[in-house]
């Protein structure tokens, strides 16, 4: 089956043609133009050129996959409206995938931060372990990304250590409470329980501090550095390239925009199963810049 992939969630507009077979994928053609103000002008010619390069027409398509973002309002809706319109006109299903997931899948093994430019000195970001998303998508200032990763926790060896600390803390509180009730009564037991909870917090904090500061319990012992080194192995996306000095990890400069084949791969199971068409709901993580007027302005003085 021939599948068209579209993405306009970043400054790039991308059109790709991918063949989906029973046991794999094969990329046939891809066109991309990087211009944050010209998605509407560039996408349709890219689709036409991509199909022509492969010698096929729109009626040969079996499905369309569209990147849902996150991304700026104006550019993102160009790709989604185009995909939805073509799907309805051709009578073929449309499927949506997170655009960041396309980059995360293409980035391959290891712990990877994907960041795209959200403007306003912010990035849309998510983290991936071996191509699978573990955090996000979200939007934040580049200097706040590390703190967000620490708050959410990361899948590292610290999971077992934090779990053991939490179990030990709960046991310590239970034992202290039981002993206090038997010795001095309920009122004093409540005081003892409060002390036990404080001891529990200290146990968890100690385990976290011993394991690179990664805290899976949601508690944070100290403010993390702005860089994400130690939390991820590398980064990708044009936001990572733009703010690479703040992230302080290697950046995959060849992987800045979602590849069409990776987007199709994320929807491949649905495509092979003949799943029904999906509503292409954009991932808007913040309100658009445009706002409704507060009131009518007087024109007479």
Asked, for residue 187, whether it belongs to a domain, the answer is no
Please report the pLDDT score of residue 193 as a whole number.
Answer: 52
pLDDT in tens, 13-49: 999 999 999 999 999 999 999 999 999 999 999 999 9
Residue 158 pLDDT exceeds 50: no
Asked, for residue 37, whether it belongs to a domain, the answer is yes
Please report the pLDDT score of residue 154 as a whole number.
Answer: 55
Asked, for residue 202, whether it belongs to a domain, the answer is no
Residue 192 pLDDT exceeds 90: no
Are 128 and 240 spatial neighbours (Cβ–Cβ below 8 Å)? no
Please report the pLDDT score of residue 183 as a whole number.
Answer: 46
Please report the pLDDT score of residue 4 as a whole number.
Answer: 98
Q: What is the pTM of this model?
A: 0.74
Asked, for residue 203, whether it belongs to a domain, the answer is no
Please report the pLDDT score of residue 187 as a whole number.
Answer: 55
CATH number, residue 260: 3.30.420.40
Q: Which residue has the higher pLDDT, 67 or 153?
A: 67
Residue 199 pLDDT exceeds 60: no
Please report the pLDDT score of residue 67 as a whole number.
Answer: 98
Residue 168 pLDDT exceeds 50: no
Mean pLDDT of the chain: 83
Asked, for residue 234, whether it belongs to a domain, the answer is yes
Please report the pLDDT score of residue 152 as a whole number.
Answer: 85
Please report the pLDDT score of residue 301 as a whole number.
Answer: 59
252's CB contacts (< 8 A; 6+ apart) are 107, 234, 235, 236, 240
- Can you tell me which residue has the tokens 């703010």? 243
263's CB contacts (< 8 A; 6+ apart) are 5, 7, 16, 65, 66, 67, 97, 99, 102
pLDDT mean over 182-203: 52
Please report the pLDDT score of residue 190 as a whole number.
Answer: 56
Domain span holding position 246? 2-161+222-273
pLDDT band at 153 (very low <50, low <70, confident <90, very high): confident
Asked, for residue 189, whether it belongs to a domain, the answer is no
Total domain count for the chain? Answer: 1
Number of Cβ within 10 Å of residue 289's Cβ equals 10
* Cis before 131? omega within 30: no
Please report the pLDDT score of residue 177 as a whole number.
Answer: 42
pLDDT in tens, 236-281: 999 999 999 999 999 999 999 999 999 999 999 999 999 999 999 9
Give percent above pLDDT 70 in the chain: 72
pLDDT band at 227 (very low <50, low <70, confident <90, very high): confident
Asked, for residue 282, whether it belongs to a domain, the answer is no
Please report the pLDDT score of residue 167 as a whole number.
Answer: 47
Asked, for residue 7, whether it belongs to a domain, the answer is yes
């Amino acid at each position: 089956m021939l599948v068209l992939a579209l993405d306009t969630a970043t400054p790039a507009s991308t059109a790709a043609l991918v063949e989906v077979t029973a046991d794999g994928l094969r990329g046939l053609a891809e066109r991309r133009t990087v211009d944050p103000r010209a998605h509407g002008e560039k996408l349709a010619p890219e689709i036409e050129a991509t199909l022509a390069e492969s010698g096929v027409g729109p009626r040969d398509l079996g499905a369309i996959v569209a990147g849902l973002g996150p991304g700026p309002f104006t550019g993102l809706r160009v790709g989604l409206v185009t995909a939805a319109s073509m799907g309805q006109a051709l009578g073929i299903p449309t499927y949506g995938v997170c655009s960041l997931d396309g980059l995360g899948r293409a980035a391959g093994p290891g712990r990877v931060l994907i960041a795209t430019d959200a403007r306003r000195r912010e990035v849309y970001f998510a983290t991936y372990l071996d191509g699978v998303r573990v955090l996000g998508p979200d939007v934040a200032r580049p200097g706040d990304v590390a703190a967000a990763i620490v708050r959410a926790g990361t899948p590292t060896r610290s999971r077992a250590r934090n779990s053991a600390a939490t179990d030990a803390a709960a046991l310590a509180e239970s034992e202290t409470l039981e002993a206090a009730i038997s010795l001095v009564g309920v009122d004093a037991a409540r005081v003892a329980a409060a002390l036990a909870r404080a001891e529990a917090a200290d146990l968890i904090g100690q385990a976290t501090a011993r394991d690179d500061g990664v805290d899976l319990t949601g508690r944070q012992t100290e403010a993390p550095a702005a860089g994400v080194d130690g939390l991820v192995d590398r980064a990708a996306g044009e936001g990572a390239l733009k703010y690479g000095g703040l992230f302080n990890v290697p950046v995959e400069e060849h992987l800045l925009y979602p590849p069409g084949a990776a987007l199709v791969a994320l929807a491949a199971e649905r495509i092979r199963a003949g799943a029904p068409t999906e509503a292409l709901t954009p991932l808007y993580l913040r309100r658009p810049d445009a706002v409704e007027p507060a009131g009518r302005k007087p024109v007479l003085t």
